[in-house]
Structure 1
């Protein structure tokens, strides 16, 4: 089983600013969400934890790891958010005005240094396949980012969900099985753990 999780909230999330590869930490709400996520996984089998190398994803992953007794959280650059180039730090609504098709522009050339959707999807799919091939029969939790996870959901569902359709919530969990090279989505965008009280 692969549990694919979006990181907790950051101040830039709250302000609706484009983060991309900009390394923004969790805010207090994001840290609380990570603790709630850890409570969710307290009694769920997880053998390995991986994360994007950006701080917001790594901190979320380590919070779950502490609860599970997994101290070795391996990071991969290929699990990063989509790079938004010179647009990082601007309001998301401004990007929507400048490039209204930015979230669904499959097959188009890069503008303003924004990573093409195909490139993001390819690196996510390759990295997640490598992780699951190495893990074999083990259950894995991976913390990544909204647009990156959505591109993988788009890949698995052949465009029926994910990019351009789904808005992933902070720390929402989407799960997949991986058997003999084939993916199947089991649950999607589950944030029910955010109702768990934590101190």
Structure 2
């Protein structure tokens, strides 16, 4: 089974091709350029490096959120278009799940934290595949002092980098992944997507939707 995965939910961007759990190729960019101008270049590069075409894929996977609202829209729209063009299903992967996948077979609690602005983080924590903290948007201090269990926790995500000092102040036994695994990666999107594919969690191209977790600023202002 071949999958094309992509992640545009943060400042980084990546596209990857995997086959039966083996990573064939991955393009990872952290250049600051707009995702709208670099995503298809990354997708094309990953396909070429894997000696594949879009038509060879069994499914197309995307990190559908939470994360950057604009980035999420770019990724889901691109994934839907490619799935439609190839006549293949799409797989929606939660960004936080994919970040936790970066930790591999880590047996301790792994907590994904993304900067959600306004003093909050998007977060989720698991240990051995079991949910410890369900997906939510909360103040970082609440996560550190109330939601996470005692003992060492492995942190991953942009908020783990940005707020490392605050995390260490509250939890001195915290652990952090190396830089190359600290942020979103399409290879992890592929890994999660393969499990979802085998569980039958497939979508039509027109069923793929962004997962924002909370309302955008525009929506909040409109309600006011």
Q: TM-score range by the shorter chain?
A: 0.3 to 0.5
* Structure with greater strand share of residues: 2
TM-score normalised by structure 1 residue count:
0.34
**Higher relative contact order structure (alpha carbons within 8 Å, sequence separation ≥ 6):** 1
TM-score normalised by structure 2 residue count:
0.31
